[in-house]
Structure 1
Amino acid sequence: MVHRGVNNTAPRAAYYALASNVAVALCQYAAAAYTNSGSALAEAIHSSADCVNQLLLLMGSRAASNRADKQHPLGFGRETYFYALLVALQIFLVGGVASVTVGVVRLLHRSPLEHPYVVIAVLCVSGVIEASALQASIGTIDESRRKAGLWKWFRETGQPQLLLAIGEDVAALGGVLASLVAVVLSVLTGSPVFDACGGIAVGLILMSTAIFSMREIRSLIVGEAAHRHVRQAMHAWLSQRPVVGHVVSLIVLKWADHLVVAIQAELRPHGSADELVRTIDRIGNDLKSAFPLAKWIFFEPKLREHGSHPL
């Protein structure tokens, strides 16, 4: 089973989201100032925070591209985890908490909604832009992974930048829909309470997105194994090698866009140490050809009497 390499899709998704958020934020601030809408203001704050988030993701992508050095022999790929955590925290604090605060203030100091149809028009346009950005970001996911379902991809991906870019787009679209419903209800009832509640709803959506994202990023920082089907495919590949008697242990760890592979296996008897080294080198090279994401491979031959899984 051969797995294709991953291209640098996360920056593309970040650029899509950045362009859409700049356009949407400008429209929403104008609408909030003109109509006195709390929902529009909450959405504008959300879009502004997203612009900063995309810049942070692009900074993380650039930092991760630095070459390995003596202090960081496996490279800087995990820099993306650090920047992704900053983004998730900002989504929670700047986007979520700020939007809830705006909604609560509007709820306590109610003021009538002016020119509501302008807000509705801006939110509809924002929804179209956000939906287009979301579709473009989802399109950067590998087709085979995309067919398995977006939720499954969210739980399994080792690309926090792309996860956050898509998560932000989903939250943005949900926030626009919540704001639109709130404004429409305010128009129908004549009560500004619904508009204020729309701002609170936007904040809660953002906070939920941030909590979910931080949970996934935490798992990656701690050290998360590759997807089960990748581990199973790699185990099957090793077991089918004529020189491999038994795979004792196989650890496949996500490392940014790549994999760190640690193998303990019994090998068939070899006539000399040189032959054993050549066999191990050949297994490593062939494994990289079959699984291009396996950038670092550590192989430890084991004797049967020592062959117990370390976990």
Structure 2
Amino acid sequence: MTEQTKDDNKAATKKVIYAAVFANLGIAVAKFIVAAITGSAAMMAEGIHSAVDTGNEVLLLIGEKNAARPPDQAHPFGYGKVVYFWALIVALSVFSLGGGLSIYRGVHGLIDPEPIENALWSYVVLAVAAAFEGYSWNLSRLGLNKYRKDGDNLWQAVRASKDAAVFTVFIEDTAALAGVLVAAAGIGLGQLFDNDLFDPAASIVIGLLLVCAAFTLARETGALLVGESIGREETGELREIINADPSIDKVTRVLTMQMGPDEVLLTASVQFRRGMRIDEVEQAIERLENAVRKHNPAVRTLYFESAALRSSWT
């Protein structure tokens, strides 16, 4: 992967995050104002949701900035996984602050329901929120497309994506759009049936949506943080490329680890042909490195191990 391509990917990721920050900040303020005017528990839950999302995107920007630091003696493989750490923190905040507070607010509303006043303002703000969230959602969807293969749906693209910042915004925005619909339904049903319990019930549903989103984020980012591979299919293709080189008798094992959104570590245990000279082995390794990087430019660090050569030279 060229430095230009890597910079373009980072710029696209930051665009997604900045769009989400500004959208959620404005929406959060509007939702809190309307919640105070109308007394709607669902609107309060939506305000909490948008406020938490705003803070989360700031955390992702911190992660992106720290991940850009060059390798040093303490972190010889770089800081790419910092993004995954902050994305995991985001998942925890979505669960505790977003989901927990929304559910608490809903339960409180069920115990002591309050009538909704001036509901029209709620609908106006929810409509505006849906427009802004939809714009941010579409940007994150486009960011996922670079990991999306022909025939894959968006969920498969999320599972395949290694850019935690992009898929975090996508999952958050998906939950936000669903929350807008739930809030509107809760307020509307409350007016239709003249029942004040629909609104706090909607707040609880919004909280449960956020809890589900948080678990999804935690699972995806946690797997990347502890050392997820680039995938069985891609690893198999790299194994075939290595095995196809004329200097290789046998490929014993190929291991990969995602070190960041655009960085992969590869180790391969191979058996070179017996009788090869040192210079021939060096040429073969250089040839293999070029072939691997041509197939997958994200492979930035490669290690080859040959037990057969060790035994023949000792």
Q: TM-score range by the shorter chain?
A: over 0.9
Q: Hey, what does 2:291 align to over in structure 1?
A: 286
Contact 1:16-1:137 within 8 A present in 2 as well: no
Structure 1 residue ranges, 4+ long, deviating more than 4 angstroms after superposition:
none
- Residue 63, structure 1, aligned to residue 66, structure 2: yes
Runs of 5+ consecutive residues of structure 2 not aligned to the other structure: none
Q: Hey, what does 1:241 align to over in structure 2?
A: 245
CA shift for structure 1 position 14: 1.1
In structure 2, how many angstroms separate the alpha carbons of the residues matched to 1:299 and 1:271?
A: 15
Choose the corresponding residue for 1:116, options 107, 116, 119.
Answer: 119
CA shift for structure 1 position 125: 1.8
Paired residues for 1:1-311 under 5 Å: 7-8=9-10, 9-143=12-146, 145=148, 147=150, 148-257=152-261, 258-303=263-308
- Alpha-carbon RMSD across the aligned residues, in angstroms, is 1.9
Contact 1:235-1:250 within 8 A present in 2 as well: yes
Count residues in correspondence: 303
In structure 2, how many angstroms separate the alpha carbons of the residues matched to 1:156 and 1:146?
A: 9
TM-score normalised to structure 2 length: 0.91
Contact 1:5-1:292 within 8 A present in 2 as well: no
Name the CA shift for 1:143/1:238 in 2 (closer, same or farther; >3 Å).
same
CA shift for structure 1 position 274: 2.3
Contact 2:144-2:158 within 8 A present in 1 as well: no
Q: Hey, what does 1:309 align to over in structure 2?
A: none
- Describe the superposition over 1:44-80 as per-residue Cα deviations: whole angstroms up to 9, x where unpaired: 0110011000000000000000111011000011111
In structure 2, how many angstroms separate the alpha carbons of the residues matched to 1:146 and 1:283?
A: 26
- Describe the superposition over 1:91-141 as per-residue Cα deviations: whole angstroms up to 9, x where unpaired: 011111011111111111111100112212211221122112101111122
- Secondary structure in 2 matching 1:269: coil
Contact 2:272-2:309 within 8 A present in 1 as well: no
Moved more, 182-191 or 117-126: 117-126
Runs of 5+ consecutive residues of structure 1 not aligned to the other structure: 307-311
Name the CA shift for 1:75/1:304 in 2 (closer, same or farther; >3 Å).
closer
- Secondary structure in 2 matching 1:132: helix
CA shift for structure 1 position 157: 2.1
CA shift for structure 1 position 231: 1.0
In structure 2, how many angstroms separate the alpha carbons of the residues matched to 1:186 and 1:271?
A: 80
Name the CA shift for 1:196/1:93 in 2 (closer, same or farther; >3 Å).
same
- Secondary structure in 2 matching 1:297: strand
CA shift for structure 1 position 38: 0.8
TM-score normalised to structure 1 length: 0.92
In structure 1, how many angstroms separate the alpha carbons of the residues matched to 2:297 and 2:203?
A: 46
